[in-house]
Structure 1
Amino acid sequence: MKKLFIVAITALGFTFAAQAQDAATSTNGGQTAQGKWLIEANTGFGGQAGTQAASTSFGLTSVDGNTSWNLGAEGGYFVADDLAVKVGLGYGDNGSDGAGSSAFSYKIGAKYYIASMIPVQVDYTGASIKDFDENPSYLGLQGGYAIFLGENVSIEPGLRYNITMNDDYTEEDVFQFQIGFALHF
C-alpha cells in the first residue's frame, strides 16, 4: 500500500508539473537561479506524538497538559537553476514522557522548483534523542507551490510524507501539511 501511494503521488506530481510548465509564461525573477542561497523555516502540522522527534520545523503541541516543542531551520544553495542542495537542523523537547526527552534533528536533501514555482523535495531526516536506544529516521517526499512576495521572500504551502526508515523506532509513516517561509538571496 505504501509503494502504491508513493507511485500515485509521484505520477500526480509529474502530471501537475508538466501542466504548470506549459502554463508558465514568466519567471519568478531569478530567486531560484544558480548561485543563489535559500534560508527556510517551516511549520509542520500533522503526525502524532513521538514521530515529530525528527523535525527541522517549528512546532508546538499540547495534549492533555503534555507540551512538546521544536525549533529548526533549513538552508540551501542552488547548484543549478531551480535545484538546491539543502541541510537542516532542529532541536526539540517532548515533555510528555516525564523525563522531558530532548532531540537533535538533522536533514539533508535536494529541492527542485519545477517551472521555478512548484517546489518538490526529497530528503533524509534523522534525530538523536537523549536516553533512547533507537532513533527515528525518515525518507521525506514533499511538494507544494511557491508564492513569491517579492525578490527575496516566498511562502510555500505544501504536503509532506515521511517514510520511516527505522522500524525499531516506529513502523508508522507521517503525513503532514506544511507552510514554509523562505528567504532567497
Structure 2
Amino acid sequence: MKKFFFTLALLCAVAGAGFAQTVSEGTIILNPQLTNLAYNSFKVSSDGASSKFSMYGLQADGGYAIKDDLLIIGGVGYQGLKFEDTSGSMLNIRAGVRYYIFNGLFASGSLVLGHGKLGDGTIGDLGFGDEGYEEEYVESDAKADLNSLNLAIGVGYSIFLAERFSIDPFLNYTYGLSNKVAGESFGMTALSLNIGFSFYF
C-alpha cells in the first residue's frame, strides 16, 4: 500500500509540474477529500490509560481566496470510528485557513467540531475509569454520545493536473481540545494521510 501511494504521488508530481501556479485572490475552491487513507496513528487516553483506534471518512470543503495564496476554508464531514470491538460514527463541521507557501506546497489549520454516536460494543475496553464504568454507564448494545472539539494542522502539496484541478495529498495532525464520550472526558491525538481533489473557479 505504501509503495502504491508513493508511486501515485510521483506520477502525479511529474504530470503536474507544468501546471504549478498560485491561487489568485477571489478564487473559489471546492475540495472533497478522502480522509485517513494510510499511515494512520490514533490514540485516545484517560487517567493514564490509552487505546488505539481507527478512523476513515469523507470531507467536503469549500474556500475563498481573500488574497493571493491565502484561503478561508469551511466544510462538513463524516467519520467512521472503530475502537477495538466498539464502532461508531461522527459528523463534523470545520473552519480554518489554507496558505500556499511555494509552488503548490501549502499549510493548513482549522477547528473541527464533531458530534456522533459510539456503540455496538462496550466502552469499558477503552480505559475510561475503573472496571465498574462499563456496567454503570454502557450496555453492550448501547450507543453513547460522542462530542469533540479538535485542532487540525496539516501540510500538503497541490499537484495541478489541469489549470483548474489539482490532487492534494497532505499529512494531517489532530489534537483534541475537548472530547467526551458518555459525559466522560478523554484526550485524543491523530496523525493521518489524506487526499483531496480541488476544483478552482
TM-score bin, normalised by smaller chain:
0.5 to 0.7
Aligned to 2:191: 175
Contact 2:71 2:99 in 1 (8 A): yes
The structure richer in strand per residue is 2
CA distance in 1, matches of 2:197, 2:178: 29
1:120–1:29 Cα change, 3 Å:
closer
Shift of 1:115: 2.2
Aligned to 1:140: 152
CA distance in 1, matches of 2:90, 2:179: 18
Aligned to 1:20: none
SS where residue 187 of structure 2 aligns? coil
Per-residue CA distance 1:29-62 (angstroms, 9 max, x = gap) = 45x1000111112222224498xxxxxxxxxxxx
Q: With structure 1 as the length reference, what TM-score do the two structures score? A: 0.65
CA distance in 2, matches of 1:80, 1:27: 20
CA distance in 2, matches of 1:144, 1:38: 16
CA distance in 1, matches of 2:192, 2:145: 26
Aligned to 1:89: 76
| Divergent runs of 4+, >6 A | 95-100
Once the two structures are overlaid, the 10-residue window that deviates more, 164-173 or 106-115, is 164-173
Shift of 1:104: 1.8
Give the alignment's Cα RMSD to 1 decimal: 3.1
Matched, 1:73 2:85: no
Shift of 1:136: 1.7
Q: How many residues align?
A: 144
1:151–1:140 Cα change, 3 Å:
same
Structure 2, unpaired ranges of 5+: 1-17, 45-53, 118-142
1:95–1:29 Cα change, 3 Å:
closer
Contact 2:19 2:160 in 1 (8 A): no
Structure 1, unpaired ranges of 5+: 1-25, 51-62
Per-residue CA distance 1:108-149 (angstroms, 9 max, x = gap) = 000000125111001011201146445122111100111111
1:180–1:69 Cα change, 3 Å:
closer
1:90–1:115 Cα change, 3 Å:
same
1:172–1:49 Cα change, 3 Å:
closer
SS where residue 33 of structure 1 aligns? coil
Identity %: 25
Map 1:14-53 to 2 at 5 A. Answer: 28-30=20-22, 32-45=23-36, 46-48=40-42
Aligned to 2:102: 115
Q: With structure 2 as the length reference, what TM-score do the two structures score? A: 0.60
1:121–1:150 Cα change, 3 Å:
same
Contact 1:27 1:116 in 2 (8 A): no
Q: Which amino acid aligns with 1:175?
A: L
Q: Which has the larger radius of gyration?
A: 2
